[in-house]
Amino acid sequence: MGFRRNPVRLSLVALLLAACSSLPVDDPEEACRLAADLLEGGRLEEALDLAAAARSRWPRHERAACLWAYAAMAQALAGKGPDHALLDEAERTCAAAAVRGGVESLFALGLVRRNRGDLDGALRAWQEGWKRDPGHRRTLEALADLHFDLGRERAAARFYRELDRIPPPRARVCYRLALCAAARVDSAPEPAVADYAKAGVGRLLDRVLELEPDHAGALRTKAWLLLRLSRLRGRWSQPELRREDAAAAGKLLRRALVADPGSAPILHALGWIASECGKTDEAEDYLRRAVAADPGFAPALADLAALLEGSGRGGPGEVERLRRRARRETGDPQLLRALERARGRPGGERGGGA
């Protein structure tokens, strides 16, 4: 939520709250800052009490209402099961504030709704907030991320481009733009090499790495792009050129693995490359590490099963056990078979992974 913890202020407000039941300050903005610090520090009950006092003292103060809603939402989701009554009240508070307030209350309303699983409601709140203030950064990011998570890359890219125009430049936004661009090209019936260049996928990935040289996702997606273009250019069918491109992709993936050592998709991609290049021992090692890192990662389970079956390796019944696990994760035997056939796209996620 963008709050910053202040240890000195946290200690002060805790003492004040313990000493009296009234508000420790007479300024609504300072009360909101104190409540935000408590919320950021994980002191949910104290944050909720202070935000409730501020909301009662200044009933028309938009930020006080929003902070109470944030604290209520955090408290409602902190237990074993969500407190729906508290979430109901948080949603009503944000909706009431939005009638007389601005984009902040609409952003908070969308956040409460998204946390409740009401994605359409969240979208409506954030779209209304965007109409009121087209440059509100958190609303733009919320809209972009929601569209991206729903697989609407074209809509997501629109909002990520707006975010990218707001300084300072951020690697995360540029990376999501690269993934959206790659997804658009991949969705074409017969994508060509020139399509990726025209969409600027490589240029965007290079920009991400300029901003953040160890960005694991960008390194992995750049490796995926290299392999994708190698296939489209016919290089992958020629052993010498395949080894050359596999080595270049492997170098990028090993850099990504240093940045994100426990990444199952990166380990899986390294295993896939080794398997394609006939390095069975290396492939098995990487794929087993991928499965150990994420026992539910279906592409690694499927590829390990295929590798063990093809090489006659594995313990008794291991291939079938791996396939059963992959089947449980995918929920669809046909999808499992597609995963085992999909040798052209390591990583198991859109455009090399989000």
What tens digit of pLDDT does each residue of 24-79 get? 678 889 989 999 999 999 999 998 999 999 999 999 899 999 999 999 999 999 98
User: Does 299 fall in a domain?
Assistant: yes
The answer to whether residues 218 and 107 belong to one domain is: no
User: Does 193 fall in a domain?
Assistant: no
User: Does 209 fall in a domain?
Assistant: no
Provide the total of helices (H) and of strands (E) in the chain, helices listed first. 19, 0
> How much is the pLDDT for 22?
54
126, 144, 168 — which closes off a domain? 126
User: Does 178 fall in a domain?
Assistant: no
> How much is the pLDDT for 349?
43
Eight-state DSSP code of residue 351:
G
Confirm if 8 and 24 have CB atoms less than 8 A apart. no
> How much is the pLDDT for 102?
85
Q: Over 50: is that where the pLDDT of 207 sits?
A: yes
Domain extent, residue 69, equals 1-126
**Distance (Å, rounded) from C-alpha 20 to C-alpha 92?**
29
Q: 332: pLDDT confidence band, cut at 50, 70 and 90? A: low
Average pLDDT over residues 281-310: 94
User: Does 133 fall in a domain?
Assistant: no
> How much is the pLDDT for 79?
84
Q: Over 90: is that where the pLDDT of 23 sits?
A: no
The answer to whether residues 122 and 245 belong to one domain is: no
The answer to whether residues 218 and 354 belong to one domain is: yes
The answer to whether residues 224 and 326 belong to one domain is: yes
Confirm if 66 and 104 have CB atoms less than 8 A apart. yes
pLDDT above 70 covers what percent of the chain? Answer: 86
**Coil, helix or strand for 217?**
helix
- Taking alpha carbons only, the member of 60, 117, 62 closest to residue 87 is 117
Q: pLDDT per residue over 148-186, tens digit each?
A: 999 999 999 999 999 999 999 999 999 999 999 999 999
CATH number for the domain that contains residue 306: 1.25.40.10
Average pLDDT over residues 319-335: 79
Q: Tell me the average pLDDT of the chain.
A: 88
The answer to whether residues 110 and 228 belong to one domain is: no
pTM: predicted TM-score of the whole model, two decimal places = 0.82
Number of domain units in the chain = 2
The answer to whether residues 91 and 222 belong to one domain is: no
Rg of the chain over Cα atoms, rounded to whole angstroms, equals 25
User: Does 342 fall in a domain?
Assistant: yes
Q: Over 90: is that where the pLDDT of 335 sits?
A: no
Q: pLDDT per residue over 89-112, tens digit each?
A: 999 999 999 998 789 999 999 999
72, 91, 126 — which closes off a domain? 126
> How much is the pLDDT for 331?
66
78, 111, 126 — which closes off a domain? 126
The answer to whether residues 9 and 115 belong to one domain is: yes
The answer to whether residues 111 and 242 belong to one domain is: no
User: Does 203 fall in a domain?
Assistant: no
Q: 348: pLDDT confidence band, cut at 50, 70 and 90? A: very low
Confirm if 39 and 74 have CB atoms less than 8 A apart. yes
The answer to whether residues 223 and 354 belong to one domain is: yes
Q: Over 60: is that where the pLDDT of 20 sits?
A: no
The answer to whether residues 117 and 219 belong to one domain is: no
User: Does 54 fall in a domain?
Assistant: yes
> How much is the pLDDT for 27?
87
> How much is the pLDDT for 354?
39
The answer to whether residues 220 and 350 belong to one domain is: yes
